[in-house]
Amino acid sequence: MRTAVVVVTHGRDEHLHRQRAGLTLGPSDLHVVVGMGEEPRLTAMPGAPPVIRVRVPVPATGLPLAAARNAGAAAAIAAGAEVLVLLDVDCIPSPQLVRRYAAAAAGDDFALLCGPVAYLPPPPPGGYPATGLGALADPHPARPAPPAGRLLRTRDFTLFWSLSFAVTATTWTRLGGFCEDYTGYGGEDTDFAVTAGAAGAQLVWVGGADAHHQHHPPARTDPRRTGEIVRNATLFRRRHGWWPMGGWLTELAAAGAVEFDPSCDVLRIAA
């Protein structure tokens, strides 16, 4: 099956370079790079997959993560991709990631496929090594991490994350992509997942489709993201009837950044 890795990026050229280096060890047929408001800097890299460049404008409300993923997926499908692997720009794929996702996609007609993601420590002098990243970090403890070659099916769509996932082009078209009403940080991936679950899709965790997340401070701790999180959480509640990102909102409330009561209909930035 023809595969495309789709990545959206803004100001993360070094992270993007390391992702492309990872794809030289376990390449896909295409690498679709979506620049949000800017043209990413790409250098020639022997063994890396061919690149399709896409650019989307950035609205005043924040980075258009949902719209950018949709644009990247559309470009990949137009180029003949049958399996879409969407990776966060911070994620370095393991050599087996694309192959494991493609194999899982071949056996699932209507599913969201998620692989384990391990968070790397800050890079040592000289940067992360080209190989052996799996020895530097363990998979995220709050997500399933089945053994290589095993598939774990679940209906808990709140566990879905957009850091690393794959779908067939047929599934993507059937779901219609991400809701583009979301801009800025947070909420759009949970919306995508629960919408897929309501449509009858499965959530499948793919053992061995490992990605390694490059270190950076959590975006949710940036005060500039608080308004985006509040707006997107409110949009999600209006669409689905419950609050997403409960742990984040509780954390922000404890820090005095927001006024949050899970039983209430209103979420506010603290005065």
Average pLDDT of the residues in 168-175: 98
Task: Report d(CA 6, CA 9) in Å as an integer.
Answer: 10
Tokens of 38: 């800017």
Decide: 251 and 219 in contact? Cβ < 8 Å: no
Sign of CA dihedral 157, 162, 165, 166: positive
What band does 127 get if pLDDT is binned at 50, 70 and 90?
confident
Task: Report d(CA 169, CA 102) in Å as an integer.
Answer: 12
Q: How far is CA 25 from CA 37, 53, 94, 197, 210, in A?
A: 30, 21, 8, 33, 13
**What does the pLDDT read at residue 220?**
67
- Specify which residues 8 forms β-bridges with: 34
Q: What is the pTM of this model?
A: 0.94
Residue type, 247: G
Task: Report d(CA 247, CA 161) in Å as an integer.
Answer: 15
Residue type, 193: A
Mean of all residue pLDDT scores within the chain: 93
Sign of CA dihedral 81, 85, 90, 93: negative
Q: Tell me the per-residue pLDDT of 216-252, one tens digit each, with 9 for 90 and over.
A: 777 666 778 899 999 999 999 999 999 999 888 999 9
- Specify which residues 218 forms β-bridges with: none
**What does the pLDDT read at residue 179?**
98
Backbone angles phi, psi at 115, to 5 degrees: -110, 160
**What does the pLDDT read at residue 200?**
97
- Residue % of the chain over a pLDDT of 70: 99
Q: Could you tell me the end-to-end alpha-carbon distance of the chain, in angstroms, rounded to an integer?
A: 53
Task: Report d(CA 270, CA 252) in Å as an integer.
Answer: 10
Q: Tell me the per-residue pLDDT of 173-191, one tens digit each, with 9 for 90 and over.
A: 999 999 999 999 999 999 9
Is the pLDDT at 137 greater than 80? The verdict is no
Task: Report d(CA 143, CA 89) in Å as an integer.
Answer: 20
Q: How far is CA 27 from CA 9, 54, 73, 100, 250, in A?
A: 19, 20, 18, 12, 40
Decide: 198 and 189 in contact? Cβ < 8 Å: no
Q: Tell me the per-residue pLDDT of 29-70, one tens digit each, with 9 for 90 and over.
A: 999 999 999 999 998 899 999 999 999 999 999 999 999 999
SS3 219: helix
Which residue shows structure tokens 């800017």?
Answer: 38
What band does 113 get if pLDDT is binned at 50, 70 and 90?
very high
Average pLDDT of the residues in 82-104: 97
What band does 215 get if pLDDT is binned at 50, 70 and 90?
confident
**What does the pLDDT read at residue 203?**
97
Is the pLDDT at 142 greater than 90? The verdict is no
A 10 A CB-CB count for 59 gives 12
